[in-house]
Amino acid sequence: MVQAAIAAPALVAVLLAAGGRWLPRPLVDAVATGTVLAVTVLLGAVLAAALRHPVVAWLGGWRPRGGVSAGIPLVADPMAAGLALLVAVLTLAALVFSWRYLVEVQAIYHALMLLFTAAMCAFVLTGDLFDAFVFFELMSVIAYVLTGYKAEEPRTVHGALNFGVINSLGAYVTLMGIGLLYARTGQLGFAAMGARLPGQDHRLVTVAFALVCTGFLVKAAAVPFHFWLADAHAVAPTPVCVLFSGVMVELGVYAVARTYWATFAGAVPGAGPALASLGVVTALLGGVMCVLQRHVKRLLAYSTVSHVGVILLGVAALDHASLAGAAYYLLGHAGVKSALFIAAGTLLNRFETLDERELHGRGRRMRVPGAVFLIGGLGLAGMPPSGLWAGKSLMDEAAERAGWWWAAPVGVVASALTAGAVLRVWLRVFRGVGPSGEGTDEHEDTETGPRMSRLPWTMLAPAIVLAGGAVVLGLITGLIHGVSHAAGLFVDQRGYVAAVLSGGAWHAASEPLHPWTAAGVIGGAAGVVLAVPVAVLGLRRPAPRLLRPAVDRLRAAHSGHVGEYAAWLTAGVALFGLLLFTA
């Protein structure tokens, strides 16, 4: 069942790539959407089974004998199965949106989207570190192609190239780490490696952890590995952005968490503080950069950087309650951010530009995208009962218990900055508030071909469903309990190793978690209240003179120069390693 969820979209992708050019476009759409729908149902069944007992499938039937494995497992615990299901649901939304949005694409686009889904699901479900590297590269290569899909635009190919070089470099550093681990343990499976890690040289294990995490942190766009993200998001087709921001970037954090708990738990004492430092810097820098943007997609891209920083901070607490919060935050963020990207896509379709100032007041009559921006902004601010709020509340409570009093304010600042920027766009574009500005007169291709007189429901419905779902997530108590159960299993290394290697029981006792605490509600309210001045001040034209040198320096650092990005990456690896050793 687990294998089928990965094999089916890959197989259909190959068929579409080979024969799709002779099929009419509606049929291609139907085949692709139908396949993803089938995958969604299949993964739903996997999740239901995983909630009873995690599913372990050995490829080719190479089961372990006597606790020793020579095969490659796929492990569907509730967390992995749930994340794979999220991938499928978002792909479904992106494909439905593409029906009318990307009118000029060929069947090869659908084939790539299916293959991308398969690669992401496989990356989530694999129980083998080397396979994780292979699927990481597969998913990355397809992501480069999808980013550069409109190859006739100069920005597009430049963004895709930066994305490709930096991500691949990160992946190779990860492979070096995998090599070191294999040299020590003679194993490649997460579980098999984890079982043999105790008693190894502490320094070597720490270095290996730093190297393995590098590629995943590049994918997760943690500062200073984040430079590629905005370049790629600003130029990728909108449905692809939905998948990038909604789930692909977050898979990087998932991979760090999986590698830590399945393999390294307890062996790298510095992991928590080191990851937390990166998380804090990422959350804050992403928020600041978000406020400074005027290109709507770039703005949303930096907001993703900021929110992934918060998720990383949640994971870094290395505690199951905090992890549950991070997972819930991820879920809420995926819905809100996907809906925002779709709404931005409708703007691009209408006005052939995404420059916020040029769009001033022009969205007054677009009621649905306007509502999505308002709801999305409030959701990002952490307004109860949104999914982001519920996740944040759980994370803050866990951080408080760990003595990390600064975690909650960092989250509030990040939410206020990113939400303020989105609300500013809403005020300026959809309400016509503030002075009208002259634009850069740089027009972009609409991605859609001809302009539409009315937005079709296939473009609006996914945004409404995703945004609407995300802002009421905090009310679904059953889901919160499910996620906390999943997180309880996720952090239980002994259970994971036993379940994978000897088919043993894997039950984690987890107390039910409740986001409705006084501190949580106050934190959410603080995010919303602080977002308002950020939005209103942002409507005034220039940045205050005092801050201008700092702002210019920040902008100059995000130069689009691939060599500089590579230098930052190297410095980041060194810094992360140093933090691991000193913290």
Q: Which residues bind other proteins (CB under 8 A)?
A: 130, 134, 137, 141, 144-145, 148, 151-155, 157-162, 164-165, 168-169, 172-173, 175-176, 179-180, 182-183, 188, 230-231, 234-235, 295, 298, 555, 558-564, 566-567, 570
The answer for residues whose C-beta is within 8 angstroms of residue 158's C-beta and 6 or more apart is 231, 235, 560
Min. distance of Cβ 25 from other proteins in angstroms?
Answer: 25
Measured from the CB atom, the residue of 155 and 514 that comes closer to other proteins is: 155
Helix (H) or strand (E) holding 58: strand 55-58
Measured from the CB atom, the residue of 461 and 551 that comes closer to other proteins is: 551
CA pair distance 535, 528, nearest whole angstrom: 11
Measured from the CB atom, the residue of 42 and 569 that comes closer to other proteins is: 569
From the list 262, 273, 143, 106, the residue with the least C-alpha distance to 191 is 262
Measured from the CB atom, the residue of 268 and 299 that comes closer to other proteins is: 299
Min. distance of Cβ 133 from other proteins in angstroms?
Answer: 8
Measured from the CB atom, the residue of 172 and 516 that comes closer to other proteins is: 172
| Collapsed DSSP state (helix, strand, coil) of residue 477 | helix
Tell how far CA 398 is from the center of its chain.
22
For residue 399, which amino acid is it?
A
CA pair distance 195, 174, nearest whole angstrom: 20
Measured from the CB atom, the residue of 205 and 318 that comes closer to other proteins is: 205
Question: Mind spelling out the 3-state secondary structure of 358-401?
Answer: CCCCCCCCCHHHHHHHHHHHHHHHCCCCCHHHHHHHHHHHHHHH
CA pair distance 135, 121, nearest whole angstrom: 9
Is the distance from CB of 346 to CB of 366 less than 8 angstroms? Answer: yes
Min. distance of Cβ 321 from other proteins in angstroms?
Answer: 37
Min. distance of Cβ 329 from other proteins in angstroms?
Answer: 28
Measured from the CB atom, the residue of 58 and 182 that comes closer to other proteins is: 182
Cis status of the peptide bond prior to 269, with omega within 30 of 0? no
Min. distance of Cβ 301 from other proteins in angstroms?
Answer: 11
Measured from the CB atom, the residue of 100 and 155 that comes closer to other proteins is: 155
Is the distance from CB of 6 to CB of 125 less than 8 angstroms? Answer: yes
Min. distance of Cβ 200 from other proteins in angstroms?
Answer: 15
For residue 492, which amino acid is it?
D
Min. distance of Cβ 564 from other proteins in angstroms?
Answer: 7
Measured from the CB atom, the residue of 23 and 554 that comes closer to other proteins is: 554
Q: Give the total residue count for the chain.
A: 583
CA pair distance 32, 210, nearest whole angstrom: 39
Q: Crossing angle, helix 387-401 and helix 367-381, to 10 degrees?
A: 10
Is the distance from CB of 545 to CB of 202 less than 8 angstroms? Answer: no
Min. distance of Cβ 242 from other proteins in angstroms?
Answer: 20
Min. distance of Cβ 425 from other proteins in angstroms?
Answer: 17
CA pair distance 176, 157, nearest whole angstrom: 29
Q: Would you say the C-alpha torsion 107, 112, 115, 120 has a positive or negative sign?
A: negative
Measured from the CB atom, the residue of 182 and 516 that comes closer to other proteins is: 182
Is the distance from CB of 436 to CB of 360 less than 8 angstroms? Answer: yes
